[in-house]
Amino acid sequence: MKLLAGNSNPTLSQAVAAHLDLPLCRATVKRFADNEVWVTIDENVRGEDVFVLQSTSYPANDNLMELLIIVDALKRASARRITAVTPYFGYARQDRKTGGRTPISAKLVANLITRAGADRVLTMDLHSGQIQGFFDIPTDNLLAAPILAQDIKQNYDKPSDLLIVSPDVGGVVRALQLASRLNADLAIIDKRRSGPGKSEVANIIGDVHGRRCVLFDDLIDGGGTLCNAAQALVDGGAAEVSAYVTHGVLSGAAVERVQNSVLKELVMTDSIDAVERTQGFSKVRYVTCAPLIGEAIRRIANEESVSKLFD
């Protein structure tokens, strides 16, 4: 087995390699003057089981193209099996037609990864589960809920006061899974979206008065949804509100918006490398997903069950 990392998240790649006690495969990933990606695999991979670690986060197109070219280089170098490990799968929000003459970009990206030569995909907390069906190759969708639930247990000493809140109706199943792990109650925010990246709270389904609320979502982009939901919960009588999110996309002024909001803290996994953007902001904290990804890689390499990680 060999691990090969792209440039999207070197810190996470090193942590996964350390967890597996395996050095990263030597490779050179550069850019030509016109920003074309150029890749060279600097060691023999013939007949090897290779795992390519590369989130397709910002800059999404550059990181996606880098992943495709690395996979193509490995295929032409006669790697036995290539697994694209994308902790954050970009374009996942474009998983259906939302109007006339609009694309399903998540399916297009799935086709690109497959056609490039990947034999398997390993990702985490897809925006919607049906994206697994967009791939014509085996796809494992890891759940961050176990590691986030463990962090909540360590930081909330009175589980009876805890209330897990889904920031929209679409995330109810995800939030319910977390609530079940914590034996906590569930509330739902009825959100109305007025345009891309713009939302407002219409109703709160559930009694939040005096409760310590934990908003749980798969990603935070501009931060408007979570911050508006947190304000609505406080206005509804919540004692405090925190947010737990798998992927910290954090575009625009998202970090400043979180810092100036009523949120007690925002806890995210390190699936996306956003440490520089969040430095100096006291409300942002990280939980590493390296052990989860590393263990999944080990199980795939040994032909063991991945789903048992979440039993």
Catalytic residues: 191
Question: Apex CA 39: angle with CA 33 and CA 41, to 5°?
Answer: 150
- On whether the CB atoms of residues 214 and 244 are closer than 8 A, the answer is yes
Provide the residue type at 65 as one letter.
M
Query: Closest by alpha carbon to 94, among 131, 123, 138?
Result: 131
Structure tokens at 204: 């709160």
Q: Where are the beta strands (DSSP E) in the chain?
A: 2-5, 27-31, 37-41, 49-53, 81-86, 120-124, 139-142, 162-166, 185-195, 198-205, 212-220, 240-248, 266-269, 284-287
